[in-house]
Amino acid sequence: MRIINRFAVLFILLLISSCSEQGNGVDFNKRSVSVIIAAEPPTLSTVGPVSSIGIFFQGHIFEGLLRYDENNKLSGGVAEKWEITPEGATFHLRKNAKWSDGRVVTAHDFIYAWRLGASPENEYNFITFPMKNASKIAEGKLTSDKLGVTAVDDFTLKVDFEAPCAYFPALTTFTTYMPIRQDSFEKWGADKYAVDPEKMFYNGPFVLTEWKHGVSLKMTKNNYYWDKEKIWLNEINVPAITDQSTTRFNMFISKDVCMVNLEDSNSLKSALKRRLETPMKSFSSGFISYLEFNNREGRPTANKNLRKAISLVINRSDIVNKVLGIPGYKPGSTMFPSWLGGYEKLLHEEYDFNLPLESLSEAQKYLALAKEELGMEEITLTYLYSGGPSTDGMAVYIQEQLMNKLGIKVNLDKQIFKIRIAKSLSGEFDFLGGGWGPDYNDPMTFGDLLASWNQNNRGKFKNEKYDALVVQANNSVDQKERMDCFYEMHKILHEEVPVFPIFESGGIYLADPRLKGFFRNIIGSDPQLTYARIEEDE
Amino acid sequence: MSKYVFKRLLSGFFTVFFIATVTFFGMHAIPGDPLSSDKVMSEASKEALNKKYGFDKPLYEQYFIFLKNTAQGDFGMSFTKKGQDVNDIIKQGFSESAKLGVLAILFAAFGGILWGALTAKYRNKWPDYLIMIFVILGISVPSFVFASFAQLFIVFLNQELNLVFPYRGDGSFVSLLVPALVLGLGTMAFLTRLMRSSLLEVINSDFVRTAKAKGLNSWQIFKSHELRNSILPVITILGPAIASITTGSFVIETIFTIPGLGKQFVEGVQQNDYTLIMGTTVFYGSFLVLMVLVVDIVYGFVDPRIKVGESK
């Protein structure tokens, strides 16, 4: 018995000693915050695979020519001032922008990075295409030193455009446009650069000081950062990595992280049940989800009347409110989501994107026409999709609507993500559940998706008028003219239905009320904690 | 004995070789590749990357390169976890999973034997019924349910009682206890049933009656006659169970944020990370083959009637 007692004492001691202090989600004294991430970034190299989780870190540890300031407005980053003309742009770099080892950031660091960014080996090289020769370099027809960017001197960077690019200044905040230290990149090589804290240099407000792979990461304030007076936080911790929403919610409840997304109805329910004092706020992910029809020859969905018939029997608000029930989602009637900016205000405030739909009874008419044109009595379609329970619900809803209202049989082809991508590219579907997220803050990031030359146009939709509008919007610097183009594109999509937009996704999140000055972003780091501060406990 | 072990190792080698070959070609037959992502790459980019990673070579050539590297103990670099060697990923993941797994196996083995013995001793009495209800729950309820509930329960207790008991793996030993218990639950339940039926058989056998007649007390009978004779099936199961539990569980690891190997299996497949899939598969295959061999050798020690390596 005595032995057992000793064990019990030992065990209790062990318990007490191993328990950490509760709640370091926000720590006023240490000036630190903790956040939880769903997946580990594959790399932090700005010319490696682009991922939103990578961008979260990159937006804190690197800085481009421009950045979003403490009011989330576009302002000078490494560049002090800049001029833009239809032919190109000139950026004047500040002389006190430094790397984390004290070396000054020069125009050459940008040129080195951008040349890597345009090379065929960078899968995101399309983002450099506004620069002269970039698309030819990406195709391997020119060497990367032909890229339209030159250093007039160490602190002046001159960019030549392929075509006028009104949104180029905003584009320089994108991760591919961050500078790279040539010595570090060459020392480690493309595959090993930026996969450990010591394998890169930093020029952003923070430096990565810890990266235990698969376990945790930590960023601390960069003392060489030129604007460090504005940075209040000392530490941003990522104590764990998990895609389990319940675990993340439990971490927030235990005050071990400062913020949590409630991405499904279950976590929202449990949050409501607990009657938390923390206010719930909504955020937008910027993504648009849609059905994409296969326009390849021989597919029934290449028939416009069939697409119209289908589009008339699917009710967006039913899918969003009754089928998915995910908080923060809203029905979307266009490929140009409502958060996009127009020429002065928001795009949706300047144009009416909710064009009237024809009545349900028209669907039968279109279906009859389609059957006649196709010469088919019975129509069977394959719906390709991937994802979890919510996309299953949507698939079943679509299957049922098409069967009940149009008599079309739908076969569900559910695949894991990678296989869905492969099948969608090879055209093995009639329609698929697709989604698209923005790369930069301009309607073009959605607009050129359905251009006939775009590889991501998986349904191979081809419309000459649409293509011409994309080119026109691309070549213009007049914002009003460009927005008119986008609206015309929307009208074509509304008429031709190559895609049927369903919803804009988003969510509800909880944040510690003491945490101030952070931003939930659609483009760039989400959340952006650079200018965050913590209010003192009362 | 050594000849037997050698023979078994040789056949094990061919088993693993077979597993690796089938996995290799199966994996390449699946549409998609490690490089594909939501946004399509241009043809030029694809070509450049395929060349860089050797995907432009014919499949049989890639297969021989894989065999050559594997023979040298090198699984290559992961495609989705940039700059990380698959060997390192396995080493690191396995050390975490094994810690958790050994604990889970201890829970499962001791629990299984204990509850099994109790149910057999009190057959058709209330302890038997009570334990068997839990056993059926343990077998039929998937582990993620237990895991989620366990975590929720700890968080709830912490809040109500102002405790700070770890509700997720934070690297400490204590934080592994609950995940290990949950992880071992299914095996424990299974072992309980196994132990119960095999002990029941032994209890009714002649030699136990003889022992009773000799006047041994019930503890002595249990210890030296019943337990030893009924534990063999448990050991049979334990071998493969050790192999599968110590190599990690995806569900437990993601819920309790333990950076183990189980996650790597699933993520590797989801991402089509060829090198990671092959690395984890070959590792798991070899480990399993080895554990089964160990179990066969252990038989000999537990039951002297079994002569390992001697043909009849």
Per residue, what are the HEC states of A147-212? Answer: CCEEEEECCEEEEEECCCCCCHHHHCCCHHHCCCCHHHHHHHHHHHCCCCHHHCCCCCCEEEEEEE
Contacts of B42 in chain A (CB under 8 A): 120, 125-126, 138-139, 455
Regions of chain A where pLDDT drops below 50: 1, 17-20
From A10-24, A182-196, B47-61, B103-117, the region with the lowest mean pLDDT = A10-24
Residue B142 sits at the chain A interface (C-beta within 8 Å): no
Please report which confidence band the pLDDT of residue B244 belongs to, taking 50, 70 and 90 as the band edges. Answer: confident
Across B75-104, average pLDDT: 91
Interface predicted TM-score of the whole assembly (ipTM), two decimals: 0.85
What is the pTM (predicted TM-score) of this model?
0.88
Residue A61: both structure tokens together: 């540890």
pLDDT of residue A14: 53
Tabulate helix, strand, coil % of chain A (nearest 5): 35, 20, 40
| Torsions phi, psi for A306 (to 5 deg) | -65, -45
Residue B47 to residue A120, Cβ atoms within 8 A: yes
Identify the CA nearest to B69 among candidates B87, B49, B95. Answer: B87
Q: How far is CA A214 from the centre of its chain?
A: 22
Question: For residue A131, how many other CB atoms are within 10 A of its CB?
Answer: 25
Q: Are the C-beta atoms of residues B192 and B131 closer than 8 Å to each other?
A: yes
pLDDT of residue B299: 81
pLDDT of residue B224: 85
CA angle B260, A219, A194 (to 5 degrees): 70
Mean pLDDT value across chain B: 89
Helix (H, G, I), strand (E, B) or coil at B184: helix
pLDDT of residue B312: 46
Torsion, CA A280, CA A335, CA A386, CA A174, rounded to 10: -70
Residue A19 to residue B151, Cβ atoms within 8 A: no
Q: Which of B31, B148, B256 sits opposite A422 (nearest CB)?
A: B31
Please report which confidence band the pLDDT of residue B310 belongs to, taking 50, 70 and 90 as the band edges. Answer: low
Q: Domains along chain B?
A: 86-302 (1.10.3720.10)
Interface test with chain A among B77, B144, B162, B257, by most A beta carbons within 10 Å: B257
Residues 217-276 of B with CB under 8 A from A: 254-257, 259, 263, 270-272
